[in-house]
Amino acid sequence: MQNNSPTKSIAFTAIDEQANALIGLSKDVWDHPESGFREHRTAKLTSEFMRSIELAPRENIAITGVVAKLDTGRPGPHIAVMGELDSLIVPEHRNADPDTGAAHVCGHNIQIGNMLAAAVGLSQPDVLSALSGSISFMAVPAEEYIEIEYREQLRESGELEFLAGKQEFIRLGELDDVDISMLTHASPTESRTLQPGVSHNGMIAKTVRFIGRSAHAGGAPHLGINALNAANLAMQGIALLRETFRDEDHIRIHPIITRGGAAVSSVPANVTMEMFIRAANVEAMQDAEVKVDRALKGAAMTIGATVEISTSPGYMPSLFDPALGDLYEKSVVELLGESATGRVPHRTSSTDMGDISMMMPTLHAYASGASGRTHSDEFEITDWQLDVIDAGKAMVSTVIDLLANDGTSAKDIIANFDARLSQEKYLETLRGFQRTETWNGE
């Protein structure tokens, strides 16, 4: 440990010297939010900064992704430090883009800052010379699973196969030779902390269309088939299945109706829905999905409507590596003291970092410098120093611990990791979720 400390101080000093630029860039991204697979400006800022610190980024990976690799020149594990490029869309947010409604209400802007802070620290020649293996800095598009129609168009035109950035990175081979991944996400927590996450739900997405028959809603409803009633019944069926879900599987199913009818005087004949089916493990996701399909078909049958169900893979359940979390916590204690650590318990939201966590030891840390509900008009970044600079230093310190001493710590963590899926099996599972079915309930 002792000979790691001078290495860390060199890295930390370099980050402090660039602190204004790193926070400035993170604020610039906050002020110019771009949703997934549209993050061209954010990607350009990222690659320009990388070039300014003598890195050689590759661009336009999975449309907007940027990757730069640092090689120590000595063999050893390959670590990916990631940041997510995309915003959400919440037009009510004070800082929303007036044209697109895009807003950084999940705080991904600070991830670009802390990933680049890590790049500043680790690219110092005296830091690199103390390490083995290599480090890639990855700005990844589209973590938020939104604008499904737009992404389906990208899929149809052959620009994508999957609808999320990390899934595309995996498909394109960007993670083929990566051994360990890490990322630090913003989180609205009261205390000033940097905490590793434990796990997240995974999810499957469905778009559903009930097709009925229009007729005069007052004069002759008996001649119509009410697609809205079918959707309504389907939602009740899904809700009544709740008692069959086990607490430990953390099932969350949240449908919305995206088109409820065309005119109040006509029986609705074309009603569309979207829904996520979330669970803490793949088996529970699949079990819940079968039940949801049954509820949809049962509702169609009751009303005599037809239902089209389009199913897409969402994200795999996350299970972050405990040993990597321990190593990270040690760095946080060194940096900010004992009170700044602790684990963030299971979360019922989902992230494509979960997909990566199936295949390699993965760290998903949370920096508490934010306030307000995430994904809402209230969300703000409140502590840029913590989210960008300290979070960057904590990742640098963890990477140094992993790759110093011939990469012994990294090699131990990799050796003890039990991959739940190989990359091949993962892509097969993801593709297995993808299907469209039409069911006639007449």
State the residues that interact with Zn ion by CB under 5 A. 106
Nearer to Zn ion, 113 or 407 (CB): 113
The amino acid sitting at 222 is H
How far, in Å, CA of 150 to CA of 99, rounded? Answer: 16
Least gap, CB of 106 to Zn ion (angstroms)? 3
Nearer to Zn ion, 292 or 367 (CB): 367
Nearer to Zn ion, 43 or 106 (CB): 106
Nearer to Zn ion, 106 or 228 (CB): 106
| b/e map 169-198, b = 16+ CB within 10 Å | bbbeebbeebbbbbbbbbbbbeebbbbbbb
How far, in Å, CA of 44 to CA of 28, rounded? Answer: 12
Nearer to Zn ion, 67 or 106 (CB): 106
User: Measuring CA to CA, which residue among 198, 310, 189 is closest to residue 250?
Assistant: 198
Least gap, CB of 33 to Zn ion (angstroms)? 13
Nearer to Zn ion, 30 or 210 (CB): 30
User: Measuring CA to CA, which residue among 126, 127, 123, 129 is closest to residue 69?
Assistant: 123
Which CA distances in Å does 225 have to 259, 281, 297? 16, 38, 15
Quote the tokens at residue 225. 């088939």
Least gap, CB of 105 to Zn ion (angstroms)? 9
User: How many C-beta atoms lie closer than 10 Å to residue 339's C-beta?
Assistant: 11
Nearer to Zn ion, 106 or 233 (CB): 106
Least gap, CB of 351 to Zn ion (angstroms)? 7
| b/e map 246-265, b = 16+ CB within 10 Å | eeebbbbbebebeeebeeee
Least gap, CB of 285 to Zn ion (angstroms)? 20
Nearer to Zn ion, 106 or 285 (CB): 106
Least gap, CB of 86 to Zn ion (angstroms)? 9
The separation between CA 125 and the C-alpha centre of its own chain, rounded to angstroms, equals: 32
* Residue count (the chain): 442
Q: Cβ-closest residue to Zn ion? A: 106
- For residue 44, give the H/E element and its range: helix 40-52
Least gap, CB of 187 to Zn ion (angstroms)? 9
User: Measuring CA to CA, which residue among 161, 200, 146 is closest to residue 356?
Assistant: 200
Least gap, CB of 324 to Zn ion (angstroms)? 20
